[in-house]
Amino acid sequence: MKLYTKPGACSTAVHIDLRWTGEPFEVEVMDAESMKAPAFRALNPSGSVPVLVDGDFVLTQNAAIVGYIADRRPQARLGGDGSPRQRAEAARWLAFVNSDLHPAFKPLFGPGNYIDDPTQHDAVKAAARKRVRALFETADRQLQGREWLAGFRSFADPYLYVTLRWAARTGVDLSGLEALAAFPGTDGRRCRRAAGAQGRRLGLTGVAGRRPLRPPAF
């Protein structure tokens, strides 16, 4: 299997999932230019990562990819214990991150895609920070008394971790969100320094830029 990823992008979540399953995989590190190249557009016409290639199967879209990875290696339990209920919990929190939280960052990364007038960009970003903060408050409430979003480690967690890194980069105020601050990978409490230079290159280091999300525990 081969994952096309860009360091720090949402595809980093897929990368962590793959590491958690223990399945062998290759990584192709992309950048803005290579993502525009015809060879990559042939795989994903939208020119975005992640893309997962498994033999002749080319899969795009985070949610589909992490579900596929979880189903290939059920023993990693990234979609729960096999019960419909745990699968639904994992899918619920994946949907929260993929379709609520992730898009809420878009005005912060590209305010010009929302409003042409550059004098309005700071206002657009300020509004986006408020929206992102409100969504992180939801995640914080969910994490109270839980280590992982779904109540067990799932494919939703690496994606939350990636958005926490974005929050640090874009100046989102996370003060007072204590459960979120204790999330593995956020403050390094449950992490270890292991990524080294390769981890940094692949965007797997922690929010502070030093610690990776906890590697597989099995």
Ligand X SMILES: N[C@@H](CCC(=O)N[C@@H](CS)C(=O)NCC(=O)O)C(=O)O
CB of 46 to ligand X, least distance (A): 8
Q: Which is nearer to ligand X, 6 or 77 (CB)?
A: 6
CB of 202 to ligand X, least distance (A): 14
Q: Which is nearer to ligand X, 110 or 196 (CB)?
A: 110
Residue with the CB atom nearest ligand X in the bound state: 48
> Three-state DSSP class for 9?
coil
Region of 211 please: left (phi>0), alpha (psi -120 to 50) or beta: beta
| Start-to-end CA span in the chain (Å) | 21
The CA–CA distances, whole Å, from 199 to 7, 31, 83, 142, 188 equal 9, 16, 34, 29, 15
Q: Which is nearer to ligand X, 45 or 176 (CB)?
A: 45
Amino acid at 86: Q
CB of 32 to ligand X, least distance (A): 5
CB of 83 to ligand X, least distance (A): 25
Interface with ligand X by CB under 6 A: which residues? 6, 9-10, 32, 35, 48-50, 61-62, 98
Q: How many CA atoms lie within 13 A of 48 on its CB side?
A: 7
Q: Which is nearer to ligand X, 49 or 164 (CB)?
A: 49
Q: CA-to-CA distance for 44 and 51, rounded, in angstroms?
A: 7
